[in-house]
Amino acid sequence: MKKEFDKFKQWLTLNYSDGLLDLNPPATNEEIEELKTTLGVELPEDFISVLKIHNGQKGEAAWLFDSQEFLSTHRIIEEFTTWKKLLKSELHNKVSTPDDGVKSDWWNINWIPFTSDGCGDHYCIDLSPTRKGTKGQIITLWYESSEREIVAKSFSLWFEEYVNLLYSGELVYSKEYNSIVYKDELE
């Protein structure tokens, strides 16, 4: 993951240096243990390795992942806690329309958000897929949409594809949106 993250940082250096400066220092072992304990899950090694490179972003600059904040361990805990409270109240009986391989829950306690747009939308690591899914797959969780799509079979594949989209020019930094967005959203 270090090689891919170095490519990401190189892109930021050339295209959005404030984004590079917004990255947090590496997560400590204590922060990672607190995260695992709070979530009650074993996180994929590829994701932990990224947290050990940079523990998310500070949130003082534009969001770094497709108009979403790259969550730190503490921000993951905050978002997870919010969803857990919602699950006990208003989401109790709601179901989604998922891709094959994803459970039909609106939110599942084993869906770990690692990005956030600040309005309840996330990319999540799915640690409890159906038999047709892959443990650790990356899924979408849009609060107001019932769709739950699989976007990658693992965090490392998702991240590699994201970096490729940056280098291909399909994703760009937009001053107008103050975020990294798909180029076609600007047209």
Tens-digit pLDDT profile for residues 79-131 = 999 999 988 887 777 889 999 999 999 899 999 999 999 999 999 999 999 99
Per-residue confidence (pLDDT) for residue 187, from 0 to 100:
73
- Asked whether the predicted pLDDT for residue 186 surpasses 90, the reply is no
Neighbours of 58 (CB within 10 A): 14
Per-residue confidence (pLDDT) for residue 23, from 0 to 100:
97
Q: Find the Cα–Cα–Cα–Cα dihedral 101, 162, 61, 82, rounded to 10°.
A: 10
- CATH number for the segment(s) 2-182: 3.40.1580.10
Q: Is residue 171 a contact partner of residue 162, using CB atoms and an 8 Å limit?
A: yes
Neighbours of 170 (CB within 10 A): 11
pLDDT tens for each residue of 36-60: 999 999 999 999 999 999 999 998 8
- Asked whether the predicted pLDDT for residue 178 surpasses 90, the reply is no
Per-residue confidence (pLDDT) for residue 89, from 0 to 100:
80
Q: Name the maximum alpha-carbon separation found in the chain.
A: 47
